[in-house]
Amino acid sequence: MKCPGCGAMETRVIETRTADEGRVVRRRRECPECSHRFTTYEKTEDKRTLRVMKKDGSRETFDRDKIIRGVGRACEKLPVSLDQIEDLAVKIEDDLKAEGYGEVPVSEIGLRVMEGLRKIDQVAYVRFASVYREFTDLRSFQQEIARLIGEKEGQKNGGEN
């Protein structure tokens, strides 16, 4: 595997784990030349192509990296690892394929990202939601935060009974 840091052609595997319920092999690698560490994922090739229907009616091939970039921006300076972000993106893609989607509305992807982020980090969730739902004022933020607080309090009260 080529090192993304220095371009050396040989790297070594330092850790191997399965992810996504055994459908993906995650490998941590290190370059002996520059000591750069990076993660690779290995999975079976799926011939089913997932297409995304955008808001303007156009269609494009699903790109997991777009989810990773968007979620990464929402998680900046928060205690969320790249592995958590990548696992979320893989899960969304695999779930959509498993559910038989050939074409999926971009809105469905956004909802699944928000659902996943809500479980990972609520601040990242609000950041992502503010862009996804196009918050235009402070009231929109307040309403979303109040909804999250209400959910959390409901869970607390429900757990005590």
Sign of CA dihedral 33, 34, 35, 38: negative
In a domain? residue 156: no
72-93, pLDDT tens digit by residue? 999 999 999 999 999 999 999 9
pLDDT at residue 34, rounded to an integer: 96
Q: For residues 89 and 3, what is the distance between their CA atoms, to the nearest angstrom?
A: 23
In a shared domain, residues 73 and 97: yes
Domain around 2: 1-44
In a domain? residue 21: yes
In a shared domain, residues 106 and 75: yes
In a shared domain, residues 29 and 58: no
Contacts of 25-33 with CB under 8 Å at 24 or more apart are 26/83, 29/1, 31/3, 31/5, 31/6, 32/8, 33/3, 33/6, 33/8
pLDDT at residue 47, rounded to an integer: 65
Residues of the chain with pLDDT under 50: 161
Residue with tokens 């989607």: 101
DSSP state of 50: P
pLDDT at residue 33, rounded to an integer: 95
In a domain? residue 68: yes
In a domain? residue 95: yes
Closest by alpha carbon to 71, among 90, 95, 89?
Answer: 89
pLDDT at residue 117, rounded to an integer: 96
In a shared domain, residues 114 and 124: yes
How many other β-carbons are positioned within 10 Å of the β-carbon of residue 38? 15
In a domain? residue 101: yes
Entry pTM: 0.67
pLDDT at residue 161, rounded to an integer: 44
Q: How many domains does the chain have?
A: 2
